Chains A and B, each alone.
Chain A
């Protein structure tokens, strides 16, 4: 049945099957979440807040930094530890055609047919910040279905994006040799986001310089808050074990210190914020599309109404519509 026609009962059934281990149902539910609308909302209602069991690691970094290749090698390590791993891999949607080429899986053949690994490619569908609109809810769905470890590969983002930090428990930022200037330019953002730095493509020239730049950028942080730096050659599988060890020790440290709990609180906050944001935006688009704004726009253009006043009127209308939608 087409995703758009699913009733609440259908989604409940799907959820039940997905929880029982049916991957087809799980995959379908992610499509439902991606599509949004009523069916998505009903899936959301079926997902209680995060279980304590799951853990999420974010992998972010510029386009082509080697995130997917790194994930491929990391999967081996992660599987040995967690038993099962799910991955959400986000790639950009073309703003022109709204189509997308999702290519992360090409790098992930080592575990592509394993029943212990679930890989889902997601198009960003216009969302900025490195994730797709549905990435967060898909993560919660995966947790609800008992996936103990979830990796999220963000879109290759030019500068540092904060979304991944508010979605994952440990953030790995992937850099490459020769990126000293980028490190300098993004120093503040990088330090805010990264729990672990990876210098991937350590086989390339410029490794030491990048390492030095990074170390000096981090020098001002107190030692216990200083992110680990791991060197990897993902294409040859080198450094994966070190990276996995760094992830495990970060996890342990924030669990013991209680920081994990406060991070989760932050995540919930960001998620809820994001959810309302998305719904309001959809509502706002509809408001404009319905022509409700037209008379006010004309009035503004004619000088009969000022912008701020027009904004007030429309915001009131927006709130009215939004609460009607919830009641209905």
Chain B
């Protein structure tokens, strides 16, 4: 399998503008051959709608704010597209990480190396 034609959604759940993290991650995924659909700062329902309309194979969330906003987005995606894997990164303190992992979401906190994130995307989309 390859990454060709695999689609990944990249959204920011917070209203903070930190763009470094999502941008470097999106570029790394593009360079690995993924189609990355950027939607910027999105409300939970926007994340859900985009994950449906864009028929993505993986949902990526950058968390810049409170984890519960992301949890809500995750819940909505799960309801409409239960089969789609989700991975997240950004400001994720240990308690938030535990909460997210408890929901079956993979977490890539600050300091994560890009090759590891790309490898996860390949695994989660079945490209590797």
Contacts and interface: CB of A to CB of B under 8 A. Distances in A.
Q: In the complex they form, do A and B come into direct contact, defined as C-beta atoms under 8 angstroms apart?
A: yes
Given A99-B32, A100-B35, 8 more contacts: A24-B81, A97-B31, A99-B3, A99-B33, A103-B38, A109-B42, A112-B49, A113-B43
A174 B99 CA distance: 47
Interface in B74-94: 80-81
Contact of A123 (B35, B42, B53, B55): B35
B45 interface: yes
A261 interface: no
Nearest to B53: A27
B5 interface: yes
B46 A113 contact: yes
B36 A100 contact: yes
A34 B53 contact: no
A106 B40 contact: yes
Contacts of B4: 98
- B interface SS class: mixed
Contacts of A125: 5
A121 B54 CA distance: 7
Interface in A101-146: 101-103, 105-106, 109, 112-113, 118-121, 123, 125
The interface size bin for chain B is: 20 to 34
Interface of B: 3-5, 7, 26-27, 29-43, 45-46, 48-50, 52-55, 80-81, 126
Contact of B33 (A23, A98, A109, A113): A98
Contacts of A118: 53
Interface residues of A, number: 30
B26 A101 contact: yes
Given A105-B40, A112-B39, A100 B55 contact: no
B39 A105 contact: yes
8 contacts: A34-B5, A98-B4, A99-B29, A99-B30, A99-B35, A102-B37, A103-B38, A123-B35
Given A24-B80, A112-B42, A105 B50 contact: yes
